[in-house]
Amino acid sequence: MRLLIAGPPGAGKGTQSTRISALLGVPHISSGEVLRDAMGTDSRVGESVRAWIDRGQLVPDELVLSLLQQRFSAPDVVEQGYILDGFPRNRRQARLLRYLDPYRSVEAVIRLVVPTSVVRERLRRRGRDDDHASAVRVRLAEYEDATRPMLAEFSRAFAMVTVDAARTVEEVTSRVLAGLRKHGLIKGLDLPSRYAGSALGNDA
């Protein structure tokens, strides 16, 4: 399965991707995580990535692409697809995705919708290094200027699963799964047994 998850910073893309990845056995690819890993390395690339992330700006497309390339060619992704979180973030990256994706196309876009007031409060509580006020301001502006227009185009090109992400983590997951089911991408309740009896298993 090839899924793309999109929404503003703080919408819960990472949390939902991790859960959906575990439930459906689809590898999670997070561009933010790939970049934070690169930032952890003691290199010039690491240093420049840190500077962009700390300002809340988008890292240049070429750099993101070259760091993501390796992940996309990993055997698990080639065999099982992906749930892609944080990429693409603008129209150009959306075009470049075709070259990264061994299958050349996503099957559905999960769109998490949440009011800015909720996002601000979540980011304030999360407290990641790049959740300070000025970076949050820039990230929200990047989302409005670059990502939202791209998503408007996606809604004409792909199957869309739009979910109110101000709800609880469990409710959001269950609505995402219901949406995927509606589009015929998953069937029935074929959840792994370890989820049986959990809140997730019950409502999924």
The answer to whether 116 and 140 are in contact (CB under 8 A) is yes
Q: What residues between 103 and 132 interact with ligand AMP by CB under 6 A? A: 130
**Binding map of ligand AMP across residues 54-83, x = CB under 6 A, - = no contact:** --xxxx----x-------------------
The answer to whether 150 and 34 are in contact (CB under 8 A) is no
**Contact flag: residue 93 with ligand AMP (CB under 6 A):** yes
Selected from 1, 29, 53, 123, the binder of ligand AMP by CB under 6 A is 53
Q: Find the shortest distance in angstroms from Cβ 31 to ligand AMP.
A: 3
Backbone region of residue 115 per phi and psi (left: phi > 0; alpha: psi in -120 to 50; beta: other values): beta
Selected from 27, 81, 86, 179, the binder of ligand AMP by CB under 6 A is 86
Q: How many C-beta atoms lie closer than 10 Å to residue 164's C-beta?
A: 12
CA-based nearest residue to 177, from 187, 166, 164, 192 = 187
In the numeric block, which tokens belong to residue 150? 């791209």
CA distance 66 to 102: 15
**Binding map of ligand AMP across residues 128-157, x = CB under 6 A, - = no contact:** --x--------x------------------
Query: Would you tell me which residues interact with ligand AMP (CB under 6 A)?
Result: 9, 31-32, 35, 52-53, 56-59, 64, 86-87, 89, 93, 130, 139
